[in-house]
């Protein structure tokens, strides 16, 4: 059983994110450190061997009908045993009735209770997807994340190199901003997903111009909330003494949260059209994903 660092989600936020009704708020927070969910059929029959109390508990039709056969005294005893193990919360699917006996036992241990209108399978799937993102490993990088023709491009470089100005030109060309200045990166199902901190989402800082709201100026189509990261682009000032890749057969990578990402090192100098280079890099990445590589094709022709 894999457990993560415990994250305490406020009851109101938890209910809002999963479209749940709060029946009893309990301790006010839902502590979670496991992505898995339990339907406590065996536990309601008194079997608690191998029971993982870190999992969210979901009551569906089968468990509800089984409880309906119990007397209030037996039902109270079974839910007392369940709640006494400090489970994160209890969610009842299908808007099924929650008896006062269950609520009374939950109050003894301040265990939150929620009600969902959805069928049990959908509830379990929604919880798993939500917890997968919530508990995903996370890091923060200084840079800009753009959606360029469907390719997630993370742009990095020293302060003042022109990352935000580059992003601004890409937005003006119809591409979409995900995050400026600070990029939150999460490892979700072995894929890196980037987003922006909530407070600065859709905002950019342009030196000499100040703060702008991209969504307000260019419309909703100019931004997106998150994007998988496909390419890392590092901008650096042109160094005459340095030899840069001219063919495209050099494979640079950058490790982020244990994932080796394809990386491009792009020198910046007056007269270079960096936005066009980024657009071309995104198109080249797409072609390479489909099995085509211009450098390999050229080398094969030369060898023939």
Averaged pLDDT score across all residues of the chain:
92
284 shares its domain with 148: yes
pTM of the model: 0.78
128 shares its domain with 276: no
The CATH number of residue 271's host domain is: 3.40.50.300
Our answer to whether residue 163 is catalytic in this structure is yes
- Considering the candidates 2, 50, 243, 246, report the single residue annotated as catalytic: 246
Query: Rounded to the nearest 10 degrees, how much is the dihedral formed by the CA atoms of 259, 54, 125, 11?
Result: -100
> In b/e form, how buried is each residue of 150-187, taking b as 16+ CB within 10 angstroms?
ebbbbbbbeeebbbbbbbbbbbeeebbbbbbeebbbbb
- Tens digits of residue pLDDT in 190-233: 999 999 999 999 999 988 889 999 999 999 999 999 999 999 99
176 shares its domain with 259: yes
50 shares its domain with 153: no
Are 33 and 6 spatial neighbours (Cβ–Cβ below 8 Å)?
yes
Question: Which pLDDT belongs to residue 48?
Answer: 94
- Tens digits of residue pLDDT in 245-270: 665 555 789 999 999 998 999 998 88
100 shares its domain with 142: no
125 shares its domain with 232: no
Residue 1 lies in a domain: no
Question: Which pLDDT belongs to residue 247?
Answer: 57
- Considering the candidates 29, 141, 163, 176, report the single residue annotated as catalytic: 163
Residue 87 lies in a domain: yes
Our answer to whether residue 201 is catalytic in this structure is no
- Considering the candidates 3, 27, 181, 201, report the single residue annotated as catalytic: 181
Are 239 and 158 spatial neighbours (Cβ–Cβ below 8 Å)?
no
Instruction: Show which of 75, 102, 134 is a domain's final residue.
Output: 134
Low-confidence residues in the chain, pLDDT < 70: 1-2, 241, 244-250, 295, 298
Domain count, the chain: 2
- Considering the candidates 142, 173, 237, 272, report the single residue annotated as catalytic: 142
Instruction: Show which of 101, 134, 167 is a domain's final residue.
Output: 134
* DSSP annotation of 209: T
Residue 181 lies in a domain: yes
Question: Which pLDDT belongs to residue 244?
Answer: 63
242 shares its domain with 100: no
127 shares its domain with 143: no
The CATH number of residue 33's host domain is: 3.40.1390.20
205 shares its domain with 295: yes
Domain range for residue 205?
138-301
Residue 67 lies in a domain: yes
Residue 2 lies in a domain: no
- Tens digits of residue pLDDT in 160-180: 898 999 999 999 999 999 999
256 shares its domain with 191: yes
126 shares its domain with 162: no
In sequence order, which ranges of 201-293 are alpha helices (DSSP H)?
Answer: 214-218, 274-289
Our answer to whether residue 181 is catalytic in this structure is yes
Instruction: Show which of 134, 169, 187 is a domain's final residue.
Output: 134
């Amino acid at each position: 059983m894999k457990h993560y660092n415990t994250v305490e989600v406020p009851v109101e936020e938890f209910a809002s994110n999963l479209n749940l009704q709060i029946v009893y708020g309990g301790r006010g927070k839902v502590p979670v450190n496991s992505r898995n969910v339990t339907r406590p059929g065996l536990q309601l029959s008194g079997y608690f061997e191998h029971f993982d109390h870190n999992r969210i508990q979901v009551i569906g039709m089968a468990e509800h009908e089984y409880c309906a056969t119990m007397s209030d005294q037996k039902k109270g005893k079974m839910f007392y045993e369940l709640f006494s193990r400090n489970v994160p919360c209890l969610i009842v699917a299908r808007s099924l009735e929650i008896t006062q006996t269950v609520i009374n036992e939950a109050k003894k241990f301040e265990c939150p209770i929620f009600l969902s209108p959805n069928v049990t399978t959908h509830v379990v799937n929604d919880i798993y997807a939500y917890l997968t993102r919530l508990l995903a490993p996370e890091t923060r990088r200084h840079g800009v994340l753009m959606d360029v023709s469907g390719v997630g491009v993370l742009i990095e470089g020293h302060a003042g190199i022109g990352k935000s100005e580059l992003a601004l030109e890409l937005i003006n060309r119809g591409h979409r901003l995900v995050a400026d200045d600070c990029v939150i990166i999460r490892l979700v199902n072995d894929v890196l997903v980037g987003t922006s901190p909530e407070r600065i989402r859709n905002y950019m800082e342009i030196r000499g111009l100040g703060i702008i709201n991209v969504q307000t100026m260019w419309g909703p189509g100019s931004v997106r909330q998150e994007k998988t990261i496909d390419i890392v682009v590092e901008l650096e000032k042109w160094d005459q003494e340095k030899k840069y890749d001219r063919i495209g057969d050099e494979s640079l990578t950058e490790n982020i949260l244990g994932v080796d990402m394809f990386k491009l090192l792009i020198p910046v100098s007056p007269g270079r059209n960096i936005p066009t280079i980024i657009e071309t890099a995104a198109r080249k990445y797409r072609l390479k994903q489909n099995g085509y590589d211009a450098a390999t094709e050229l080398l094969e022709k030369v060898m023939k």
